Amino acid sequence: MKMKSSKIGNRTRVALLAGVGLSLAAGVVVSQTQPLPAVEWDVRRLDTLDRNVRRLERALTQRNSVGQPVLVEPDPEVVQLQAQVSTMDRRLGDIEQTFQRMNADNERLTFQLDERARDAQTLRAALGRAETRIKALEDAAAAQAAAAARAQAEAEAAARADPDAALAAAVALVATDRAAGIEALEQVAATWPADPQGREASWRLGDARRSGDDHPGAVQAYAAALRDWPTAPWAGETTIKLARSLVATRRNSQACAALAEFNRRYAASASAQLKSIATRTGTEARCS
């Protein structure tokens, strides 16, 4: 009788465990298909839950002890959710690395911009100093130009007041600066055309032009010096020079006329060399 009662007790416990297992399975199925209603937890419900958990633990322990372990398989949705979470973690890691690179690039750009700003400030300072030096040089050049202009004006005024000094300065200038000397001789000749200094400036101007192969200009200068055929010591030689410049410009008839005036006015007191040049010039001009 005792053995029977024990067997009946074991069968009863197995049946209860099976019923509990079926209830749990059904509960799982229902939980997967229908949403559970909201539960209001109180002390009674918590005690009931604790008792049920203890029963499940005892049932699982009994199944494991008889060689029937309970295998809990993961939910496919949970596995898929875990995979999605892992993918999101990787993407978040990539985004974090991207932000780190962007921050590093921003730091480099900020540093470069700071360097450019410092370089620009240094350049502006250098340009300011250069502008100051240029302004100082311009002021110095302007002052020198003004001083030179004043000196030139004073020299011209002094020259106009003293024809001898003006002629001497023009003759000296021809030796160092031919163009400036010619201009100075022209100024003397125009300022004192009837004075001995003006006439000498004219024949010296003719010599300067003739040395530069400007024979037409030389003819004009010699003619201005010989106006009214002066009796100055240089007049005879200047007449021969006039004739030779006329030959050079192919005005032979005028050259012959100049030689005739030389023979009539200056040949008597001329040197033998000057007479020889006059004869040779007449031959070149084919004077009769």
pLDDT in tens, 103-126: 888 888 888 888 888 888 888 888
Q: What is the pLDDT of residue 73?
A: 63
Which CATH number is 164-285 given?
A: 1.25.40.10
**pLDDT tens, position by position, 203-226:** 999 999 988 889 999 999 999 998
Q: What is the DSSP string of 165-211?
A: HHHHHHHHHHHH-HHHHHHHHHHHHHHSTTSHHHHHHHHHHHHHHHH
Rounded to an integer, what distance in angstroms lies between the CA atom of residue 95 and that of residue 99?
Answer: 6
Q: Which residue has the higher pLDDT, 38 or 101?
A: 101
**Domain segments of the chain: what residues?**
2-33+42-65, 74-161, 164-285
Q: What is the pLDDT of residue 78?
A: 67
Q: Across the chain, how many H-helices and E-strands are there?
A: 10, 0
User: Is residue 168 classed exposed, middle or buried when 0-12, 13-18 and 19+ CB atoms within 10 A define those classes?
Assistant: middle
Q: Which residue carries 């001995």 as its tokens? A: 196
Q: How many CA atoms are closer than 13 Å to the CA of 277, on its beta-carbon side?
A: 17
Q: What is the pLDDT of residue 279?
A: 92
3-class secondary structure, 100: helix
pLDDT at 158 exceeding the cut of 70: no
Q: What is the pLDDT of residue 13?
A: 45
20 near 55, Cβ under 8 Å?
A: yes
249 near 258, Cβ under 8 Å?
A: no
